[in-house]
């Protein structure tokens, strides 16, 4: 299933990464040529750039232009533009990994970080290393957005779904693995067919609307849950789908003293 369209800045990032990767291979090849003896035939920087441009086009069907002057500079010990930008980044590579692991861990436990909480965490890391050199206001207001976009292959921003605390306590790898092992054994033991296999899920929503915020978590399919107290009145919606691809109409459970006809009006999903 296709995902969301990439932003222009994300497309530029991917293009820069592809260019830097191809240039790194070209630099390695050029350094091998420079190391050849005086009697051996050597390929020049311009030829190497042309060769690698053609190799990339043959494999991916896209053109990347390499500068032979940049190739010579990098082979002589220079640094690329992306490496220069990384040196001016607030976080080191090691601190970036720490931040990413923390985001993923907190999201997996049902306590995902909002933009505000992530900024606080990053500010603490930078203050600890840079001290007075780090601005009192911390990183910029859009820093967390750019960070999430840059590392969208590992984390994502999404709107949090409520997860009651008691439910959150049982969301762990041990119980998850035990559940799927039990399900597999049961299906095999009783030879359960696809058309007799149904999956049921439910979600709750508050009549006046629940409190939601955009949070960070692991890049994965499905919602990002966020633990709540769970002591509010709730409307429950139950959805059932069969393993053969069919589905039944959803069911809605809500508090009421008598049945009201208007509940069944404007009902495109034919919910009961």
Structure tokens at 260: 């009201």
**Rounded Cα–Cα distance for residues 124 and 138 (Å):** 9
pTM surpassing 0.75? no
Domain ranges of the chain: 8-87, 93-159, 161-211+234-264
**Rounded Cα–Cα distance for residues 137 and 174 (Å):** 42
Q: CA dist 94 to 90, 97, 99, 130, 193, Å?
A: 12, 5, 9, 15, 49
Long-range contacts of 30-36 (CB under 8 A, 24+ apart): 30/71, 30/72, 30/75, 31/75, 34/75
The most distant pair of C-alpha atoms in the chain lies apart, rounded to whole Å, by 97
- Pair 251, 237: CB distance under 8 Å: yes
Task: Render each residue's pLDDT in the chain as its tens digit; 272 residues.
Answer: 455 667 777 778 788 888 888 989 989 998 998 888 888 888 888 999 999 999 989 988 889 998 989 888 888 888 877 777 667 788 888 999 999 999 998 888 878 888 999 999 999 999 999 999 999 999 988 899 888 888 888 888 888 776 666 666 666 778 888 888 888 898 888 898 888 888 888 877 766 555 567 777 787 777 777 776 655 677 888 888 988 888 888 888 877 777 777 777 777 777 77
Q: CA dist 203 to 109, 120, 163, 217, 252, Å?
A: 19, 31, 9, 20, 10
pLDDT at res. 38: 83
Q: How many residues does the chain have?
A: 272
């Amino acid at each position: 299933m296709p995902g969301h369209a990439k932003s222009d800045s994300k497309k530029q990032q991917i293009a820069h990464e592809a260019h830097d990767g191809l240039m790194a291979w070209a630099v390695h090849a050029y350094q091998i040529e420079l190391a050849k003896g005086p009697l051996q035939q050597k390929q020049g920087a311009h030829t190497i750039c042309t060769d690698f441009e053609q190799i990339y086009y043959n494999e991916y069907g896209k053109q990347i232009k390499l500068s032979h002057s940049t190739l010579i500079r990098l082979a002589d010990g220079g640094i690329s533009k992306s490496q220069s930008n990384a040196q001016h980044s607030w976080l080191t590579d090691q601190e970036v990994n720490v931040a990413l692991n923390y985001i993923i861990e907190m999201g997996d436990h049902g306590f995902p970080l909002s933009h505000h909480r992530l900024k606080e965490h990053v500010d603490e890391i930078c203050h600890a290393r840079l001290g007075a050199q780090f601005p009192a206001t911390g990183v910029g207001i859009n820093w967390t957005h750019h960070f999430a976009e840059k590392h969208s292959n590992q984390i994502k921003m999404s709107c949090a779904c409520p997860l009651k605390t008691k439910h959150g306590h049982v969301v762990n790898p041990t119980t998850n693995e035990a559940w799927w092992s039990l399900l597999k054994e049961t299906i095999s033991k009783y030879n359960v067919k696809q058309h007799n296999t149904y999956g049921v899920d439910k979600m709750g929503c508050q009549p006046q609307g629940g409190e939601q915020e955009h949070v960070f978590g692991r890049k994965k399919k499905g919602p990002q849950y966020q633990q709540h107290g769970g002591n509010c009145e709730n409307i429950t919606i139950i959805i059932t789908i069969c393993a053969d691809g069919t589905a039944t109409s959803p069911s809605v459970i809500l508090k009421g003293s008598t049945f009201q006809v208007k509940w069944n009006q404007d009902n495109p999903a034919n919910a009961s």
